[in-house]
Structure 1
């Protein structure tokens, strides 16, 4: 089968197309013929950063990717909830590698849900890692109707899902992003919009119950210190918060929460139900062909992607 392999961690020049064996199945896995995948900022970090080489385990060759949508072509002996011919999507094996940059992928059946028939494989593929990264911490901190929620980096992949999940929960949502993303975020349900290039959010909002921070910077996290009410929560999507930073928030009675997203078929089914009922609207800014995965990495590393990028097979 064709796969986009990585000769070594580093730049995109280490990518190449290659023929590698179709993966064999464990008893609890299914074999998926890939129709679409998605590229995340985390993909580019794992590609380029030797400090996270542990995610590959003993893999050889190195094949990146976590997000997938496709068709089941074979099933393991103990799989009962799916059959050959089912179209499925999911987040695979995170934080270890899911090896989705390939024509065929072995996936744990527990990580998958049926793809709604009404949506494309590209739409399904982008509604996996980014969607669960937004959904899981909101569920864990107990978001409730009437909560005032600030979403930073709201126009990105995780952020635009966080806006929608918070609205589904009945929250009042304030979206922080650049002006070019204002119309999209208001269409997705944001109640207020703040242009971070023109205004300092900490000077104009207060009494926030939950901040969902998608900016990879401790100083940015600190800017939320004086806007969250006592008993409120800061969710950091990127930074595994240092003890010193955590203490600053705790002194003000603010909970601080870092979430490692995990594959979960039940969560994927929730996402599938929202998609099937037009209650979740993923935004895809560009679709790349499989051979152009390196170009998709370049696009992600520019840091200004609106919504998500998809790759079509």
Structure 2
């Protein structure tokens, strides 16, 4: 009898894999996976109820069922759809073209103490938020069974493409028909739980792994996708300058707006780069948290379109680099 308590829920957990490999409509697949998961969860509660009634069921069997059933649906559905959605990876030719723009680009040294702040902040962030990760993963999977994580192939320091990790907030294969495009505010392709994740920036928690690996910083120019950066490099003189430092989770431009023209973003990123340091990073991190809590960011792009070519040049060498006029930079310059 005990062996059936162990085998039956685990066999049921295989149902998501069978369904996902079938030719049934996507909506039917999703509900089949959800039902399989809920039934499995109900079955894992049975050993505990059995114990409460005084019957002898080893606790380790109940724990195996709980762990296996909780992870079974997600892991086994990932056997066909994957756990991570590698979204529209750029071709080697595109990556080579972007690198070509950076041949004369000299990366800047990391300010003293900045890497220590990054590692410390990322470790603290992971410890504090790690209990949320399985909950977020389950909510994403339950709304649309499939990958939990999402990678953006973005341009980092020196123009090199790296994999930027995020929780998946959009429907699986959202760009299958449109190709790489900018996701605007109110994007209809966004999952319901994805809207909440984006509102509180919880979809960006996996980027803490990028910070630990050294491909990102807590504060720096926001990384953009390689295929879109190539367009900006062609249209905006001096755009390579924003890639002389590590990209960041938070940045001055992101604090103010959800979207902005590439030339405006470049001006703000260059202003940060000229004044970067541990003190300014701490001030911008505080501002980023307050802005998120208060919901003060502006959303200026309601239509789903590809980014328009920029025509206004912006460069660190044109003598028009603006000074930071926000509270953080004034304190930094003091």
TM-score (norm 2): 0.23
Higher strand share: 1
Higher helix share: 2
Higher RCO (C-alpha under 8 Å, 6+ residues apart): 1
TM-score (norm 1): 0.24
